[in-house]
Amino acid sequence: MVGPPPLQGLKVLEFAGLAPGPFAGLLLADAGANVLRVDRHTPSSPAVSTGDLLTRHKSSIAINLKSPDGVDVIKKLAKSADVIIDPFRPGVLEKLGIGPEVLRAINPRLIYGRMTGFRRDGRYASMAGHDINYLAVSGVLSRLGRSGDKPHPPTNILGDFAGGGATLFQGILLAVIAREKTGEGQVVEANMVDGANYLATFTRQSLKTPMGDHPRGQNLLDGGCPYYDTYETKDGKYVAVGALEPQFYAALLKGLALSNRNWEGRRLDREFWPEMRRTFETIFKSRTRSEWEEIFDGTDACCTPILEYSELEADVSREGDQRPAVTLRETPCLAVGGKGVDPSVHGQGPGVPGDGYVGQLLSPGQGGEHALSNWFGWTKGKDFDIKNGGVVLKPKSNL
């Protein structure tokens, strides 16, 4: 029988930010945690949405963090919270009086997750930066890009999300496991420099092996190898080829009608790679992507279409229905897409708006009153009020 999601009941305070912090919160929320985003607001102006779209299954409250009343609200919430997500540069929450030392003194079981771009103890700690800068100083960016071209970042997937938010999520889960043994929470620190570099362990170590000791873009897995690359088709679309092993390479040659050229023995001949690539380019451009799919689908040639999200959104038969990253058969995560599938099969419950393709803005304060009631049993008018859009505690509250 399918049970509740694995993190149901875990209370998370996520201070509003963009990209990595909200992504860590999203991973927790999709796994069933109760994630309450804390939006900043001041009495002179209403709270403004950060533009964050990673809000699935979350709610929000607005608090004036620069006022004693606002700080008091955070301290009261921290008494019962399990996790804090701090997305700010080092020292921001400490200056407001709600750093880890203060909040963990209030609640020793609290797991205080902190996310930065650069290392907190490194030479760039006080500097502003973005994904591209974190990849740059980590060394990872130096290995990304085509031969003869400048280094090129893969949007902000590797730093913000994989090395940042997903790594912080992992650290929080490790701290939750440790708390089961010790009864104590702890500070969890993640940064995108170390996170991205850890993900690049294989790439970095390959620099000292024949697999990766050539310059950027000239190695087996970075575009240097003709049978591990992408090719344009007749209709202007693309296919991806990853026929590394001999048997897969032979299947690729068969599909390209090249089996009669005795190329199997020249697979590792780097001097022959340029001619092989030119031949592949010409042949792939002689048919449409759909025609190549008819040839290679169901084979071991490791040749697949490069699908665009617009295609996937329109055709779920192409695996376009968005799902959680992992399937937990007995305790499935909450839905990512909007179609709604059998949770015992695909690991998610009822669908959500947007089908996983359209993010939903979370307005400051949206769902906050309900969350405060569910989390802490607080009642508006008795325990707290909303003033100018921000939460303040009642003066005589016994919370």
Q: Which residues are tagged catalytic? A: 160
Q: For residues 99 and 92, give the distance between their C-alpha atoms in angstroms, rounded to a whole number.
A: 8
Q: For residues 139 and 198, give the distance between their C-alpha atoms in angstroms, rounded to a whole number.
A: 11
Phi, psi of 384 (to 5 degrees): -150, 165
Helix, strand, coil shares, percent, the chain, to 5: 35, 15, 50
Strands 238-242 and 303-305: antiparallel
Phi, psi of 187 (to 5 degrees): -85, 130
Three-class HEC string of 203-225? HHHHCCCCCCCCCCCCCCCCCCC
The helix or strand, by DSSP H or E, that contains position 274, with its residue range, turns out to be helix 273-284
Going by the DSSP 8-state scheme, the letter that residue 82 receives in this structure is: S
Amino acid at residue number 231? Y
Q: For residues 224 and 263, give the distance between their C-alpha atoms in angstroms, rounded to a whole number.
A: 18
Phi, psi of 246 (to 5 degrees): -55, -45
Asked if 341 contacts 321 with a C-beta cutoff of 8 angstroms, the reply is yes
Q: For residues 48 and 257, give the distance between their C-alpha atoms in angstroms, rounded to a whole number.
A: 60
Q: How far is CA 377 from CA 259, 267, 297, 398, in A?
A: 72, 67, 56, 12
Burial of residue 124, with CB atoms counted within 10 A of its CB: 0-12 exposed, 13-18 middle, 19 or more buried: middle
Q: For residues 236 and 259, give the distance between their C-alpha atoms in angstroms, rounded to a whole number.
A: 26
What is the rounded radius of gyration, in angstroms, for the C-alpha atoms of the chain? Answer: 25
